[in-house]
Amino acid sequence: MDVPDLKSPGLYFNRELSFLEFNRRVLAQAFDESVPLLERLRFLCISSSNLDEFFEIRVAGLRQLLELGSAQFAADGMSFEQQLAGIHERAAGLVAEQYRCLNEVLMPALAARGIALIGGDDWSPEATKWLEQYFELEVEPVLSPLGLDPARPFPRIQNKSLNFIVRLEGKDAFGRDSELAIVQAPRSLPRVVPVPLEGARRTLVLLTGIVQAFVQKLFAGIEVVGCYQFRVTRNSDLFVDEEEIDDLRRALEGELAHRRYGAAVRLETSNDCPADIVQFLLRQFALHDVDTYSVPGPVNLNRLSAVYDLVQRPDLKYPVFTPGVPRRLAGNTDLFASIRQKDVLLHHPYQSFAPVMDFLRQAASDPNVLAIKQTLYRTGSDSPIVDALVAAAGAGKDVTVIIELRARFDEEANIELSNRLQEAGAHVMYGVVGYKTHAKLAMVVRREPGGIRRYCHLGTGNYHPRTARQYTDYGVFTASDEVGQDVHELFLQLTSLTQTPKLNRLIQSPFGMHDAFIAKLDRETDHARAGRPARVILKVNALVEQQSIEALYRASRAGVKVDLIVRGVCALRPGVPGVSENIRVRSVVGRFLEHSRAFYFENGGAPELYCASADWMERNFFRRVEVAFPIQRASHRQRILEDLTRYLEDNSQAWTLRADGRYERLSPGRDRPRNAQAELLGTFAAGMSIVPPVDTSD
């Protein structure tokens, strides 16, 4: 048999188009009648927010490269022009489905359940009177209409802000003809307004409808002919030349102010906006027809997420659950003693994040603790993690924190956290120039009768209590000497810029992780050719790095059974004869965002399992500081393998990727329904009725 060219463009899917397919799977949750109604609305908002960030970062980046004249091609052979054209075609279809979902599915369903999201044509006289007063008292005082003429040029429009362009007829107080004006809605104004009417019905009105209904009040003596909402999306990627700056924090603070006014990449208008006004707006933002999205509804669907919080209807939301706690930690006031006994595995959100916070709180108050070292990527503005670190510094502990200032869209919050920690006396570092510190590590150094001991927590997710309730992640507590020494060496590397350490157990990028995992894939290939047990299961958020995909293709050709659980972007094409017929790819989209990364290698009957902070992408392997850690206890490996098996047997929330690039949603049919997330909730979380809660983990 001829050896295929594993670099052939035909063996790869386009990264950008693959992301849009993932967002389509998110949107499918909004159409799914088995999902509680308000959760369906939330999934619609998530799909809108995802698309915003896609344009702000990915589309903006492609446009920049195109403008710079780059001739680079994607792995699938598409040029920048072809990718942008493909993006517009698929994004336009996705946007049409989003608004069909809102207007034809969710709004009628909400109305049937007593939640009315009504436009101006459906306001009762009582509602109209109340909303007029609301406009006069709450809205009009903060609006500043801006007329357009040669002396008053088009104003600066902030990224993703709500704006109205108003067509006028008449003369102003100075006798000048009035034709167009801009009304900008401050971000301080709520976008969804509850109307206090009698009866059981919950009535909600969008700010867009209120402004359009009463905009005439802003233009006394001039006739308002039309009022049309619009929104512009801008390039939001920050650029800092790290080789040319002396203070990264100060440089980022300067860049943050410019993010709101980056180059425009998308214009959204209401579908009633006249063509001449659309063309006028396109000229102002230096955009083209292909950059326009005309929508039958609010230009920012993500703002409808406020409905979820405004409407207190537990019957229309997911059941509340209480995360479980491992038996060995429940009621145990000495976490260090439990960790000394043996490693502890946590699986969030099914198991509580509280032990991680307790670990740091206990360290802060323990007189035997000498030092705490931690990485922070995203942790939230009011973080109990930071509270514990501040308390530790105040108690005289040596506290060192590696804060990644360039965590996208969390830069400002991280700058504030760094200031707070420094004021408390902690040592704050900003990582390594040119490399984002994405590893999830915490280490407590404690003096004990037998000498100094290191206690470590390593995880796949951020130290963020809120997302720990929404994202699936693994974390491990360990007092292993070898792991502790590795974590110590990594912190030395990050703080003092020592040479790359020789690690005992951990695998680090950008030094060796890529080569290590390709070597493990090639080892599985050798096992298969020798007739030994060989299998690979990878669970990641994204799989795009080409050399890794080539190694997976080689393993498949040798007969290795490869199962890939890829939440989002996947560039690998499964099911190609002679290349990838032994590879299955599935994506699970459900109540929780799948965020854990786990890598299982059968290894000829001596299985290895690693968890990591890293996806299989170029940036994670080569431009980030990442850590993969082995699951050392056999019972923990078995637990994670059982979790992975659940995902592979899921027939309710899983989608399979076909060789032609289509994702097909699975259904139970006549088989027993399997829902991996629901089963894990029933296994570990208390207060759920899916299956009896039994948290037997130790």
**Residue owning tokens 């027993």:** 672
Half-sphere exposure for 522 (CA within 13 Å, toward CB): 9
Alpha helices in 535-584 (DSSP H): 546-557
Cα gap 229→206, rounded to integer Å: 12
Q: How many CB atoms lie within 10 A of CB 189?
A: 15
- Check: CB of residue 622 under 8 Å from CB of residue 603: no
- Check: CB of residue 88 under 8 Å from CB of residue 82: no
Strands (E), 543-645: 561-566, 583-588, 593-594, 597-601, 608-612, 624-630
Q: How many CB atoms lie within 10 A of CB 103?
A: 12
Q: What is the DSSP letter of 10?
A: G
Q: Provide the total of helices (H) and of strands (E) in the chain, helices listed first.
A: 20, 27
- Check: CB of residue 279 under 8 Å from CB of residue 291: no
Bin 353: left if φ > 0, else alpha if -120 < ψ < 50, else beta.
Answer: alpha
Residue 390 vs residues 361, 368, 372, 455, 592: alpha-carbon distances, Å: 10, 17, 11, 19, 31
Cα angle, residue 407 at apex, residues 537 and 45 outer, rounded to 5°: 75
Q: Any idea which residues carry the catalytic annotation?
A: 438
Residue 248 vs residues 198, 242, 351, 360: alpha-carbon distances, Å: 56, 7, 37, 28
Q: How many CB atoms lie within 10 A of CB 312?
A: 8
3-state secondary structure of 223: strand
Cβ-proximal residues to 470 (8 Å cutoff; 6+ apart), any chain: 349, 592, 593
Half-sphere exposure for 655 (CA within 13 Å, toward CB): 24
Question: What one-character-per-residue DSSP string does 388-405 give?
Answer: HHHHHHHTT-EEEEEE-T
Cα gap 259→408, rounded to integer Å: 11
3-state secondary structure of 689: coil
Cα gap 681→91, rounded to integer Å: 34
Alpha helices in 4-79 (DSSP H): 15-31, 37-53, 60-67
Residue 359's H or E segment, with its range, is helix 354-365
Q: How many CB atoms lie within 10 A of CB 111?
A: 14
Cα gap 238→78, rounded to integer Å: 26
Cα gap 227→145, rounded to integer Å: 12
Cα gap 265→510, rounded to integer Å: 32
Residue 465 vs residues 291, 355, 380, 471, 473: alpha-carbon distances, Å: 38, 11, 8, 10, 12
